[in-house]
Chains A and B, each alone.
Chain A
Amino acid sequence: MAKQYDVLFRLLLLGDSGVGKTCLLCRFTDNEFHPSHISTIGVDFKMKTLLIDGIKVRIQIWDTAGQERYQTITKQYYRRAQGIFLVYDITSERSFQHIMKWASDVDEYAPDKVQKILVGNKSDEVDKRQVATEQGVKLAKAYGMDFFETSAFTNHNISETFTRLAEQVLAANKKDLDLLRTSINDELNLAALEEEEGLCDSAAGDQHKGCWC
């Protein structure tokens, strides 16, 4: 059976309601844009496989609801994330202010090793801009994160942002990565390794895809 991917990990999209998390994700995974997307309830799921340095990287992306009431539910997903997008809307000062709160939640609930990236979305809406690019740069610097301004509408910096976070997660898991390079024939599930529990994906992948009815 041909290998679908070499490494698997989980990324999480966080940020206020309406900043465009779902739009970023749809643009990235399906290259689609819908101006008024139905609001996300709880957590949604998509995936995509990227090729980074010759490694097939399968990323699971969890898209969360931004409203505060959902945070009891969404926080349950922090623990298992290896990378997190902190998203604000450049036309909303408020969503930018809230990045601090999102970042401190991440500190509290996500693993120490988690990689973060700051994203200022809706960069096409120049007339409505409330947050200057420099503000984003400065905040990202303060947190030691990379920073991108994106537009899901014009497809600006979308794949760059997702790829960068994926690269960072790979680099942060270099030990596992080296292991992978020495035994490239084995699928490696970073998520499972980190949790030290659960199914090894290679075992699941080898299952004969029969019908069990």
Chain B
Amino acid sequence: MRHTKPKFNNVKSKKASSFHEFARSTNDAWDIDDEEDEEFLGTFNTTSSIQNQVPTIYIYLSVITSYFYLCAPHSVRSTLQKQQSLPVRPIIPLVARISDQNASGAPPMTVREKSRLDKFRQLLASPNTDLEELRKHSWSGIPREVRPITWRLLSGYLPANKERRELVLKRKREEYFRFIEQYYHSRTDEHYKDTYRQIHIDIPRTNPLIPLFQQPAVQEVFERILFIWAIRHPASGYVQGINDLVTPFFVVFLSEFVTEDMENFEVAALPLETQRNIEADSFWCMSKLLDGIQDNYTFAQPGIQNKVKALEELVSRIDEDIHNHFKRYEVEYLQFAFRWMNNLLMRELPLRCTIRLWDTYQAEAEGFSHFHLYVCAAFLIEWRKEILSMVDFQGLLMLLQNLPTIHWGNEEVGLLLAEAYRLKYMFADAPSHYKR
């Protein structure tokens, strides 16, 4: 059992009050961490104490805005919608650096990180990047500075040969925009209009709390990417949840051009060419990812059904207590794990954690299609204590559908991945190693 970390007291909901309680109750712990950081780094981070206050302020803000909502006459609805998308989480970064801790800012780089970054730069600069070596280093997290290029390489979008990269990029980006010219107008055709309608409904609902994704320029990018992908993959077409999968790529490729406060960055202010490159790269990398998990989204979603069954089987071996507890209270794995598979845990984790998770998924062979199963098992076991303390169906479901990860950062994801790796190592090649 691994329960050394302080945990959320109120695990039942993500609601403002409970998070506020959490923030209050853990203020001390966060302060201590920062002091240690400062000592360790030998530097002084002037903003850390202010930043620590932010989650609380954020909660106040959202309490105020939702109160405002409830009282408002409905004629001011659209104005209020704009208010709702005011910056609400300015400090917690969308893209965290290796060293970024949870709710604190970005402390200066440690010596170790510096040498890691140098190693990546060296690999990337070689005439033929050693992809095996790159994967090995990426497994434990890719430094933010080199993440965009590393993701392009690991996804198979860019070739290892450095000389060819520019040409490939140019060709692929042109190819994508030819698709747009050729097909995007067909979104109003009888044959495709249902696909487009569904995408159009879902886009404003993608990351609704982050202002960046409410910008028309960004929403149009998502619509084009998803529509083109959908009509090129008729076996699955567009399925809700795929919209989420564009987000990490878009954010990572945008991060090359934004240094801070990405949540509020005005994308339309970038040169058109840059915007187009981000869009095309996001499309191709997302396509590569989906190639590996398309059976998650085909008729009857067999990929997901199989993975949920495999998760059940795995948990029954690694943690009989949890498994029996679910049985006793008639909790079915499908009731919570369907979404874990369909959205690759993106709905359960903050975006910065998903990005870190995907460093590893892209470094693993079959990361998204296979290793993800072990990550889900490790994620479930992570909440062992909370799960076993719930003694009714309702409590269990409410917990499992609202796991309190809002404060998670690289450290938590790192531990999760280490545990997943251990499980994979123990069970992948010896499926009957632990018989129940």
Contact = CB atoms under 8 A, between A and B. Distances in A.
Interface of A: 17-18, 30-39, 41-47, 58, 60, 65, 67, 69-70, 72-73, 76, 124, 153-154, 198-199, 204-205, 207, 209, 211-213
B77 interface: yes
B334 A33 contact: no
Interface of B: 1, 15, 66, 69-70, 74, 77, 80-81, 84, 198, 201-202, 204-206, 208, 236-237, 239-241, 243, 297, 299-301, 321, 325, 328-330, 334-335, 338-339, 342-343, 347, 384-385, 388-389, 391-394, 397-398, 401
Contacts of B325: 212
Contact of B301 (A38, A69, A205): A69
B394 A67 contact: no
B64 to A, nearest CB: 13
Contacts of A47: 394, 398
A60 B394 contact: yes
Contacts of B391: 204, 207, 209
B239 A69 contact: yes
Nearest to A60: B394
Nearest to B300: A72
B238 to A, nearest CB: 9
B394 A41 contact: no
B269 to A, nearest CB: 24
Contact of B240 (A33, A39, A198, A204): A39
A17 B240 contact: yes
Contact of B208 (A34, A65, A73, A213): A34
Consensus secondary structure, chain B interface: helix
A153 to B, nearest CB: 6
A39 B70 contact: no
Contacts of B201: 17-18, 39
A58 B393 CA distance: 12
B335 A43 contact: yes
A154 B329 CA distance: 37
Given A60-B394, A73-B334, A198-B330, A124 B74 contact: yes
B342 A35 contact: no
Contact of A67 (B198, B204, B321, B334): B198
